[in-house]
Structure 1
């Protein structure tokens, strides 16, 4: 399953991403105007997600 976090500049996307993934990407007080894509893999211990994975075979 792939998910994305989208939002306005300086709205906390990287902060949320870091909190969910345990990453340490730096947050900037002002947007540089450049698009940076951060990628991480997270284990989600949830039987419902396991079942979705079995059904959709990502």
Structure 2
């Protein structure tokens, strides 16, 4: 199942909207590319989205 702005993992709930949107995008891409469990995908997507946001601010 593809995650959306309305339907995403609860681990992403506390993220700012812009970071959550990027994390959803990354997680959906990772789900297509990798065969690891969803929790690992969510954690990595959040990490990458937060890094993306911090780099965006520079």
TM tier relative to shorter chain:
under 0.3
TM-score, normalised to structure 2, is 0.28
TM-score, normalised to structure 1, is 0.28
Higher percent of residues as helix: 2
Higher Cα radius of gyration? 1
RCO higher in 1 or 2 (8 Å CA, sep ≥ 6)? 2
